[in-house]
Amino acid sequence: MIDLSVQDGIARLVLNRPDKLNALTAEMCDMLATRCREIERSTARIVILSGAGKAFCAGGDIEAWAGETPEAFGDHWVRDGHIAFDALARLTVPVIAQLDGHALGGGLELAACADLRIAEQHIKIGQPETGLGIIPGWSGTQRAVRRFGGQVVRRMALFGEVFDAEEARRLGLVDHVTATGAAHVLAEGLAARVLSRGPQATKLTKMLINAADREDPERIAEALAGRIAAGTDELREGLSAFREKRKPDFS
Ligand code: COA
């Protein structure tokens, strides 16, 4: 239901539940977190996220909510979504969201995890949750506010405004608008541009931007320090000493 292929440095991540407009189930959230780990361990240097069929993503699976107790809704549905969305937002390689169909509710929250959004001209963007009697709980009141600003989130989440692609671009919800059917062309072009740049510099820069954006700055600080420490002679001496059962000599 979430497909991943990696070729020539580009990871293509596809939400693949087109009969339900790629509405996200708990299983799909788990799969998304797994796919993100696979991307981190792959040769990918850029990710293009898209949806199969006519929607990008129509949000969380509304049908699934009926079977949830309030406790399970908060503890599992919301938390599992956060684990998956955090994993996507915190990838060290850049992510492009290719919105070739509507991005609503959880679909918008998912697109918010990307570094860049490309929308086809016919799509709609919004946060319908309060109209369904629920909150935008997969970071729609947090990451979305940080990335898009509070006012546009208020308009969508509190007043139910749904924006077309051009308006979404003016409001900063998306970065580029293309003709219908053309988002993938621009996505591939921008992916090629990322591939032409320094891979380590790009990764490190994204980590720093994410730290500024409150995407787990503590982990980023330790990851960066870990990279430095692991590149020193100290670690080599420490490992040798451990294997040779002697005291390390750091002089
Ligand atoms: N959860 C579960 N199923 C969903 C869904 C969702 N969020 N969004 C769409 N679907 C299902 C529909 O129930 C329908 O299933 P069916 O064919 O078995 O009846 C199928 O996807 C196609 O949707 P449909 O409504 O027929 O398509 P449409 O093109 O007429 O309308 C939308 C598209 C996006 C406007 C409409 O589907 C919609 O409003 N979806 C809900 C969006 C939402 O509120 N998301 C917030 C959740 S966080």
In whole angstroms, what is the distance from residue 96 CA to residue 111 CA? 9
pLDDT 10s digits, 101-137? 999 999 999 999 999 999 999 999 999 999 999 999 9
129 labelled catalytic: yes
- Stretch 64-92: mean pLDDT, rounded? 94
Q: Give the residues across from 164 on adjacent strands.
A: 124
What residue's CA is closest to ligand 1, atom 15? 20
Task: Pick the closest to residue 186 from 107, 89, 117, 122 (CA basis).
Answer: 117
Whole-number Å distance, alpha carbon 109 to ligand 1 midpoint, is 16
Name the token pair of 56: 């990008």
Whether ligand 1 lies within 6 angstroms of the CB of 102 is answered as yes
Q: Cβ distance 2 to 35 under 8 Å?
A: yes
For 16, phi then psi, to 5°, come to -125, 70
109 labelled catalytic: yes
Top pLDDT among 152 and 65 is at 152
Angle, helices 233-243/217-230, rounded to nearest 10 degrees = 70
- Stretch 86-91: mean pLDDT, rounded? 98
Whole-number Å distance, alpha carbon 7 to ligand 1 midpoint, is 32
Whether ligand 1 lies within 6 angstroms of the CB of 63 is answered as yes
What residue's CA is closest to ligand 1, atom 16? 20
Whether ligand 1 lies within 6 angstroms of the CB of 28 is answered as no
Assign 96 a pLDDT band (cuts: 50, 70, 90): very high
What residue's CA is closest to ligand 1, atom 8? 58
17, 21, 56, 164, best to mutate for ligand 1 pocket (most atoms within 8 Å of CB): 21
In Å, how far from its chain's centre is CA 109? 9
Mean of all residue pLDDT scores within the chain: 97
Whether ligand 1 lies within 6 angstroms of the CB of 107 is answered as no
What residue's CA is closest to ligand 1, atom 10? 20
Residues in Cβ contact with 70 at an 8 Å cutoff, skipping those fewer than 6 apart: none
Question: Looking at residue 153, what is its pLDDT?
Answer: 98
Question: Looking at residue 67, what is its pLDDT?
Answer: 85
Residues in Cβ contact with 129 at an 8 Å cutoff, skipping those fewer than 6 apart: 59, 105, 135, 136, 137, 140, 157
- Stretch 175-180: mean pLDDT, rounded? 98
Whole-number Å distance, alpha carbon 77 to ligand 1 midpoint, is 19
Name the token pair of 220: 């980023």
Q: Is the pLDDT of residue 9 over 90?
A: yes
In whole angstroms, what is the distance from residue 205 CA to residue 111 CA? 20
Q: Give the residues across from 116 on adjacent strands.
A: 96
- Stretch 91-109: mean pLDDT, rounded? 98
pLDDT 10s digits, 192-222? 999 999 999 999 999 999 999 999 999 999 9
Q: Which of 109, 161, 218, 222 is catalytic?
A: 109
Assign 52 a pLDDT band (cuts: 50, 70, 90): very high
Whole-number Å distance, alpha carbon 110 to ligand 1 midpoint, is 17
- Please report, for residues 198, 222, 224, the alpha-carbon distance to residue 238 in angstroms, rounded to integers and kept in the order given: 31, 19, 20
What residue's CA is closest to ligand 1, atom 18? 20
